[in-house]
Amino acid sequence: MIRVMRPIIVAANWKMHTTPADAGDLAAAISRRTREPGVVRVICPPFVCLAAVRDALAGEDVAVGAQNLHQELAGAYTGEVSAAMLAGLASWVILGHSERRRDAGETDELVSRKLGRAVEAGLRPIVCVGELVDEREAGRAASVVAGQVRGCLGGHDPAALASAGLVIAYEPVWAIGTGRTATGQDAAAMADAIRATAREIGWDDLAGALPVLYGGSVTSGSIGEFLAEPSIDGALVGGASLKPDEMAGIVARASLTAAARSAAEAG
């Protein structure tokens, strides 16, 4: 039973793919192929492609997101991008992606600081959380993710984060590019744990309206299993987001979920 009508969101994370020469054409193709009702669409290209994607999507109902931002407003941080630099280029931002945690050593404390900058700049944040394979096998998946939620969201005003449109993406790190797969039930259990933790840190009734996406190597063939779970509200799509056919299938299935939930809410 859906008690709160949360948005259905499909966000494309292009990671380190595309160039300014081809990103615009790809974004336009995906936009044309995914014009389905009831789905919030977001494309997150590399920094150097933000302007090309923004221009290609002019007039389309598709948001542009950045893949990261720096925790400081400005300074001697060679190669970094601040929230202010994203003005006019992006309206969403991904924070704390598992690859940033792995490759750049990002901690929950750092992600929390970045979250504050995103909210200050009016960017809609997607905060990523998820456990490693050894953590899951040790039975610590829920506690690890709960700790990440506390570390990233704790200290922020829940009402301000809710007003900013905070989204959480659950990434089972052990199922990304490993050949292993998470089930819809796995993802739903973690989404429930995420919202339960939000309640514990002061979100109270706001936790029920917190969108949680699945971010574990989702495809058009697997998305249905996850969207069948009432606690999952869409997907953060990686490799499949570079393929218009895959994105068309994912968004079409998401639109069916949005329609079904709307009908249930009305009934």
Distances (CA, A) of 258 to 5, 51, 57, 179, 267: 9, 30, 23, 29, 14
Instruction: Report the chain's mean pLDDT, rounded to a whole number.
Output: 96
pLDDT greater than 70 at residue 124:
yes
- Cα gap 54→43, rounded to integer Å: 9
Q: Which residue has the tokens 């292993």?
A: 180
Q: Which of 99, 106, 171, 229 is catalytic?
A: 171
CATH code of the domain in which 84 resides: 3.20.20.70
C-beta separation of 245 from 220 below 8 A: yes
Q: Which residue has the tokens 């292009």?
A: 14
What mean pLDDT is predicted for residues 91-99?
98
- Cα gap 141→146, rounded to integer Å: 9
> 97 catalytic, yes or no?
yes
What mean pLDDT is predicted for residues 43-59?
98
pLDDT greater than 90 at residue 3:
no
Distances (CA, A) of 96 to 137, 148, 190, 198, 242: 22, 10, 17, 17, 21
What mean pLDDT is predicted for residues 159-172?
97
Q: Which of 36, 70, 97, 229 is catalytic?
A: 97
Q: Which residue has the tokens 């924070």?
A: 95
Q: What is the pLDDT of residue 265?
A: 87
Q: Is residue 159 part of a domain?
A: yes
Q: pLDDT tens digits for 199-248?
A: 999 999 999 999 999 998 899 999 999 999 999 999 999 999 999 999 99
What mean pLDDT is predicted for residues 113-127?
98
Q: What is the pLDDT of residue 266?
A: 87
Q: Is residue 1 part of a domain?
A: no
CB contact set of 28 (below 8 Å; sequence gap of 6+): 56, 57, 60
Extended strands (E) in 104-187: 124-129, 167-170
Amino acid residing at 241: S
Distances (CA, A) of 259 to 39, 166, 237: 10, 22, 21
- For 15-43, the DSSP string reads -S---TTTHHHHHHHHHHHT--TTEEEEE
C-beta separation of 194 from 149 below 8 A: yes
Q: pLDDT tens digits for 7-25?
A: 999 999 999 999 999 999 9
Q: What is the pLDDT of residue 2?
A: 39
CB contact set of 67 (below 8 Å; sequence gap of 6+): 13, 14, 15, 44, 45, 46, 47, 93, 94, 97
Q: Is residue 138 part of a domain?
A: yes
The total number of structural domains that make up the chain: 1
- Cα gap 43→218, rounded to integer Å: 15
Q: Is residue 202 part of a domain?
A: yes
What mean pLDDT is predicted for residues 156-163?
98
Give the rounded distance of the alpha carbon of 74 from its chain centre: 25
Q: Is residue 3 part of a domain?
A: no
What mean pLDDT is predicted for residues 238-265?
97
Count how many residues are written for the chain: 267
Domain interval for residue 158: 8-266
pLDDT greater than 80 at residue 83:
yes
Q: Which residue has the tokens 């150097």?
A: 48
pLDDT greater than 50 at residue 181:
yes
Q: Highest mean pLDDT: which of 174-178, 223-227, 261-265?
A: 223-227
